[in-house]
A and B are shown apart, each in its own frame.
Chain A
Amino acid sequence: MEQITSNKTTRRSLRLRSFLLSAAAAAGVLAALAPAASAFTITTPEGASPNAHAINEIYILALAFSLAIFVGVEVSLGYCLWRYRARKRHAKGERIHGNTRLEIGWTLGAAGVLVILAVFTFVKLGSIIDPQNSGPEGEELLNKGRIFALAERKLPPSGKRLEINVVGRQYVWQFVYPGGTGPADFGPTYSYEEMVVPTETTVVLNVTAADVVHSWWVPALGGKVQAVPGYHNYTWFKISKPGVFHGQCATLCGRDHARMIATVRAVPPAQFEAWLAQRKHDLEVAGEEAAAARAKMAQLRGPQSVENP
């Protein structure tokens, strides 16, 4: 006990020192964070698509409430610690056991904030999960027949959308564009890593996985969609201006998970059609070249050398 009982002055100076230290540390941390906070991102992306934009609005409301509650809690904690520090050894605190009104008050207060956040989320929910109609240019493109109907997913009111199958596999995203039934039928065309889409057009993604679980995530175009083998998962976006948007797989899918990138390039509808035609042509040419190579191989080494396993 003797070692604990030191004289009052050293205790007081120790206490003072610990407070000065804490104040200095807090000030230091705040000073370090203030420029950091203004320089760094503290919100979700404002987004290049209506769904990402609505998520951002919910986030900002939650952030406003959170900051208020955070500051309230930290300030009252700091105030109590400072104001009620022991002024002499073994002084007694007040015999307060609680306060029922306060308990009810802060329970209802916390519940009230959560109700506001939940209601706001429900208000915004439609613009996040329900695809919108395409813009006029996109509508024109879609009228050429790039529709491809399956019943389970959410559709825009007009029912018209560009539907792209997104297939996750270790460690690359494959994008399969619709064959279509209209006059401008390109046949199923695919690309890897970079998805090219028309602007002003509602694009619905049908996300699947070929091997393990992956997650489709391009922050500017909305939230994550997990690609689970055996399941279909859906998301949508509608990009108004041409641009390039980056993302990558978000669920651990193996050793090169970090390299499984996803890029979405939005181009005007006319350019999209041209790109898709070119892509189809390139694939056909490549297919013919491969067939020729296989035929040559079969000639040289026998037919078993080119059989699919």
Chain B
Amino acid sequence: MATPQTQALTAEQVAIPQIVAHEVRREPKGWTSWLTTTDHKRIGIMYLVTTFGFFILGGVEALMIRLQLGLPENTLVTPQVYNQLFTLHGTTMIFLFVVPMMAGFGNYLVPLMIGARDMAFPRLNALSYWLLLAGGIVFYASLFFTPPEAGWSSYVPLSGALYSPGGGQDAWIYLIHLTGLSSILGALNFYVTIANMRTKGMSWGRLPLFIWGILIYSILILLAMPVIAAAVTMLLTDRHFGTHFFDPTNGGSALLWQHLFWFFGHPEVYIMILPGFGIISEVLPVFARKPIFGYKAIAASTVAIGFLSFLVWAHHMFATPLPLAVLIFMMLSSMTIAIPTGVKIFNWIGTLWRGSIEFRTPLLFAAGFIALFTIGGISGVFLAMFPVDWQLNESYFVVAHIHFVLVGGAVMTIFAGIYYWFPKITGRMLSERLGKLSFWLIFVGIITTFLIQHVAGLEGMPRRVYEYPNVGDLAAENLTSTVGAFILATGVLVTIINVLRSLKHGAIAGPDPWRANTLEWFTPSPPPPHNFDVIPEVRSLEPLRDIRAEIARATGVKEPIGTGS
């Protein structure tokens, strides 16, 4: 496209310049161009690929955990290796997979969905990515000396220098610093981009719901991440520089760590799930051929969840010595979160109601998400009631809860997003056949793995144990869970095969294969570096539907116009 002109041009051939450019740069090519790119789409792709790589690593760790727990009193791995495995697994899935995966979707899609040329700060955007990668490398480098083994929540004093002398705990601290900085810079970028760079006509009331999700995600990151950054810095100075913030033998408080960690940790849960809620709110109306039900209620509930997420942290600490007033406050605030979450679920079902639902893979993952996330949401209410939480917390019930929320929830939305936007990103369709196979394996795998874990918890099995005795039904329950984990892993493998195959052999997608409604489908797939040649003025929540209607009116061609008229 941008070949430099060598011939002299005649006067007639010279167009009157509309924009004066000093030079037209060649589009960089080759692998080095990936190192220097500031294009939000390439950075987005790097985020998605990198974090999926970490997802595979975290998944392998999960399978090793499940193999160890497949039999009672198993001796496959040592207690030390087991503790390292679940610490790596939890940390990887949260800090290196779900949070940055959402940043990957956001990077690729925010400018496209709001009709912008790029992110507000393209170089800062590149820095965010490279900080994330550095965090992952620093963390996994600990495999070559001593990986951390104090769990992803790294409670003190166990994570202190006395009980975790190895460098692995420091690698964990640097991971939090690097990925945290990456998230903070990325969130700043998202916020500024969404606030300032929306195209003409895109008022807050016409903002796609995925963008609402990314907006609140960004605000939560900006408020929560600095707290964990401070906490791990205090841990670092406690470990190496003689401070005693968390040292009870020198006037410090071991409980302070839990407060700081969970003040970050609970908003983190919503950081992981709100963009996923947004993905579901984009996918459902497209495949139900119907507008989203209760746009304002869904957007408002996103804001409400974001606000409430800062008022509930001590529900992770109900068993610690806390005053009764704090327990009651945290119980009531935690229960309140169930209301906006319920409102979302009801509105999503309302979106399907009286639609014309096309069962493509993204819709299957979205519907599967509603079915599974409901279980995670309901078990959350049990955990909010502090007397009941005293029995359930720190048991396999809570393991089941977090996995229904994060696997049945966030991972399902991520897969819906992959199947929905893959055609936009690569210009090719994923195989529907493999997609559906992958969905059913993942769906059945999640239920088989995690539903039974509620029971193990109710029977008294605590989390983070490398072995359990052969009493009651624990052996059968854990074996079921292990089998389920392998079904789930097979489902993920099918999607990996699907992606690799479709990159070369997938059907050509065209700009808008789903007859969708948002602006990213207006531009070719994959989009050119500058995103749009022309950006249409936005007049409703469904700008592409408006355009299809306009074309139909102007040409008289009765093309189906997507979500009805």
Binding site for B on A (CB under 8 A): 1-4, 14-15, 18-19, 21-22, 25, 29, 33, 36, 39-45, 52, 54-55, 58-59, 62-63, 66, 69-70, 73-74, 76-77, 80-81, 84-87, 89-99, 102-103, 106-107, 110-111, 114, 117-118, 121, 124-125, 128-129, 170, 211-213, 215, 217, 219, 222-226, 228-233, 246-258
Contact = CB atoms under 8 A, between A and B. Distances in A.
Contacts of A2: 507
A272 to B, nearest CB: 25
A96 B290 contact: yes
B381 A114 contact: yes
Contacts of B389: 223
Contact of B388 (A55, A84, A231): A55
B163 A211 contact: yes
Contacts of A81: 352, 357, 367
A128 B386 CA distance: 11
Contacts of B454: 42
Contact of B565 (A92, A170, A250): A92
Interface string B127-160: 0000000000000000000000111000111100
A213 B157 contact: yes
B356 A93 contact: yes
B462 A249 contact: yes
Contact of A95 (B255, B352, B565): B565
Contacts of A40: 452, 455, 459, 473, 477
A98 B346 CA distance: 11
Q: A-B pairs with the 10 shortest C-beta distances?
A: A223-B390, A92-B564, A230-B248, A93-B290, A3-B507, A93-B355, A258-B465, A90-B560, A98-B294, A80-B352
A62 B387 CA distance: 12
A58 to B, nearest CB: 5
A94 B454 CA distance: 40
A197 B477 CA distance: 32
Contacts, number: 307
B429 A44 contact: no
B321 A258 contact: no
A94 B290 contact: yes
Nearest to A246: B460
Given A41-B459, A95-B564, A231 B321 contact: yes
B253 A18 contact: no
Contacts of A96: 290-291, 293, 350, 353-354
A45 B388 CA distance: 11
A233 B320 contact: yes
B356 A77 contact: no
A212 to B, nearest CB: 4
A233 B317 CA distance: 13
Contact of A41 (B321, B371, B458, B466): B458
Contacts of B462: 215, 217, 248-250, 257
Given A93-B289, A255-B80, A223 B163 contact: no
19 contacts: A81-B367, A85-B357, A86-B358, A92-B356, A96-B291, A97-B295, A98-B297, A99-B294, A102-B294, A106-B342, A106-B343, A170-B163, A222-B390, A228-B321, A229-B248, A248-B460, A252-B83, A254-B163, A256-B79
A13 B58 CA distance: 38
A46 to B, nearest CB: 12
